[in-house]
Structure 1
Amino acid sequence: MSDPDFEFRYKAFGLNIASNFLLEGLLPADGEPEVYIREGKVRVDMPGPPGSYGYTLVGDDGFAFRVKDIGTFLVMGGTQILAERTEGCEPGAHVLFILGTCMGVLLFQRGLLPVHGSALALEGKHMIVTGHSGAGKSTLTAALIQRGCAFLADDIAALQEDENGEPWIMPAFPRQKLWRDTAEQIFGSVDSLERIPGIRDKYHVSMDSGFIEAPRRLDALFELSTHLGAEVIVSEVKGPDKLMAVLRNIYRSEFVELRGKQGEHFMRCSALAARIRVFHIERPENGFTVDEQIKDIVHKLSGL
């Protein structure tokens, strides 16, 4: 591939990216491209009926997947992402999968560890807020940002170990994704926000300031869940449960299993769990309790 074919240059997850189409919301590159993203024909035999969801390994270090009504994607060797949009796909809708699943797989291929969560700075510490879908992590993250917390990543927090094994968060890009109800709770309305193509009632929130552009050492992981009680409960996770909390919040961990790398992955997550503090936040299933959650997080971070 010749560089002139790739007009657009960006930086995300510590990587310089060249693309042959516009990717809004990313920062400009500051060096030679390490990753190439382009639109084109994906010539891979995909399993399953045409148009259905499917995925397959390609060669020694490639992964292809298909998303119904969106397109087919190929990620190769930690350096290339190829996207073929399905006819009728809303313009730009495939970008969500390029910066999501494709990037998660590419990070694995390059030796980084993607955690499914948002990374922020608070009280001089750096943390990842994670949890299952619907737990409220996007609401909590948005509330923290509204209160002045600096921000490193939304949805995928990429970790890179240094020569001493310390985990560092590689900044992603200054954008957060929020569902309409969450955005309205935080901002009052979605009138000033950009709807994400291909998804009804989900919006981009741009970080005009407060985005951290340099790697930061990860101090803590906060896993959010709901319960039927009336109080916010924050407790430290220790022992085997600490490792399990790390393992269940890795982004697209099924790619590890598909490649048969479970043993290596387990050891890596064990090393990560040994170097950070892990906390569990249980919030009431009903009600808006982000103020209490933030108060408890501040208290826990102040003790690190």
Structure 2
Amino acid sequence: MFNVPDVAVFRIEEGVSIHVSPVPECDPGKIRLYVLGTCMGILLLQRGILPLHGSAVAIDGKAYAIVGHSGAGKSTLATVLLNMGFQLLSDDVIPLVLAHDHTAIIFPSYPQQKLWQDSMDKLGMNGDGCQPLFDREQKFAVPVQSRFRHEPMPLGGVFELVCDESGPGIQAVEGLERFHTLLRHTFRRSVMEQMGLMEWHFGMLVRFVNQLPVHRIVRPSSAFTALDLGSLLLQTIRKEKIS
């Protein structure tokens, strides 16, 4: 249960229901942001599903997670891949589970992205049919129904997107740093202790990192390199398949 001043009180119960007690005359769009974000992340945790903060894209029969901090450019890079002909599974919150055979599986969420106006301009998107998010006039909800993957897919790898002027570039993440990468980008991990999930979280991350390739993509903040990074990501995936 949590309270967002001037918005609503939210209660998430047993992984099956989200209750909302809104402040009078609060814009439904703002409530929707929290329902699809924090509330959904907590609901997934209650179900024993690991939520990662990022976008997931279906590429050549597998799903690939692009994780990173807010503003890193995850959705922009995912859009570049969608423009190459691939499909989106999730934007913002990635639901990740272990199947009975211990295969990591990503489940689809809903056919929508959130993109900044600046990214849309640089990608040549005109914004028709896109609605601005509440309180964030320069960020839009972008429907992607025709480029959405509705079926769960095995996770092929994780790409962490970071900003650094040494980029653009890509490098493999090895050893214990792979664990810390997934730890950093678990969605709403600040609630783990309160929910009594610290031990569960540790165990889940150990299982995932033992079977997944992890890479770090570096992009400079002073230049728009999303098109180059999309090509680098795709080359890395296909090179690993050959090897």
- Normalising by the residue count of structure 2, what TM-score does the alignment of the two structures yield? 0.94
Q: Does 1:301 align with 2:233?
A: no
1:97 counterpart letter in structure 2 = Y
Asked if the contact 1:90–1:198 (Cα under 8 Å) also holds between the matched residues in 2, the reply is no
Q: In structure 2, what is the Cα distance between the partners aligned to 1:181 and 1:276?
A: 33
Q: How does 1:252-263 map to 2 (within 5 A)?
A: 252-263=188-199
Question: Which residue of 259, 266, 272 maps to 2:208?
Answer: 272
Asked if the contact 1:69–1:88 (Cα under 8 Å) also holds between the matched residues in 2, the reply is no
Shift of 1:156: 0.6
Q: Which residue of 2 aligns with 1:283?
A: 219
Question: Which residue of 146, 151, 159 maps to 1:214?
Answer: 151
Question: Which residue of 15, 19, 43 maps to 1:106?
Answer: 43
Q: In structure 1, what is the Cα distance between the partners aligned to 2:196 and 2:237?
A: 36
Asked if the contact 2:57–2:86 (Cα under 8 Å) also holds between the matched residues in 1, the reply is yes
SS in 1 for 2:51: strand
Asked if the contact 1:180–1:203 (Cα under 8 Å) also holds between the matched residues in 2, the reply is yes
Q: How does 1:1-304 map to 2 (within 5 A)?
A: 64-229=1-166, 231-302=167-238, 303-304=240-241
Asked if the contact 2:112–2:145 (Cα under 8 Å) also holds between the matched residues in 1, the reply is no
Asked if the contact 1:125–1:301 (Cα under 8 Å) also holds between the matched residues in 2, the reply is no
Q: In structure 1, what is the Cα distance between the partners aligned to 2:201 and 2:12?
A: 20
Asked if the contact 1:104–1:251 (Cα under 8 Å) also holds between the matched residues in 2, the reply is yes
Shift of 1:128: 0.5
Q: In structure 1, what is the Cα distance between the partners aligned to 2:179 and 2:231?
A: 25
Q: Deviations over 1:153-204 (max 9, x none)?
A: 0001101211111111111011111122122222443344111234322211
Q: In structure 1, what is the Cα distance between the partners aligned to 2:7 and 2:123?
A: 30
Asked if the contact 2:82–2:88 (Cα under 8 Å) also holds between the matched residues in 1, the reply is yes
The higher radius of gyration belongs to 1
Q: Deviations over 1:90-115 (max 9, x none)?
A: 23320111111111100000111111
Asked if the contact 2:95–2:106 (Cα under 8 Å) also holds between the matched residues in 1, the reply is yes
SS in 1 for 2:227: helix
Q: Deviations over 1:42-62 (max 9, x none)?
A: xxxxxxxxxxxxxxxxxxxxx
Of 192-201 and 120-129, deviating more is 192-201
If each structure's helix is expressed as a fraction of its own residues, which one has the higher value?
2
Q: In structure 1, what is the Cα distance between the partners aligned to 2:73 and 2:173?
A: 19
* Equivalenced residues, count: 240
Q: In structure 1, what is the Cα distance between the partners aligned to 2:136 and 2:4?
A: 13
Asked if the contact 2:62–2:153 (Cα under 8 Å) also holds between the matched residues in 1, the reply is no
Asked if the contact 1:78–1:107 (Cα under 8 Å) also holds between the matched residues in 2, the reply is yes
Structure 1: which 5+ runs fail to align?
1-63
Asked if the contact 1:225–1:281 (Cα under 8 Å) also holds between the matched residues in 2, the reply is yes
SS in 1 for 2:127: coil
Asked if the contact 2:68–2:74 (Cα under 8 Å) also holds between the matched residues in 1, the reply is yes
Structure 2: which 5+ runs fail to align?
none
Asked if the contact 1:131–1:224 (Cα under 8 Å) also holds between the matched residues in 2, the reply is yes
Q: Which residue of 2 aligns with 1:20?
A: none
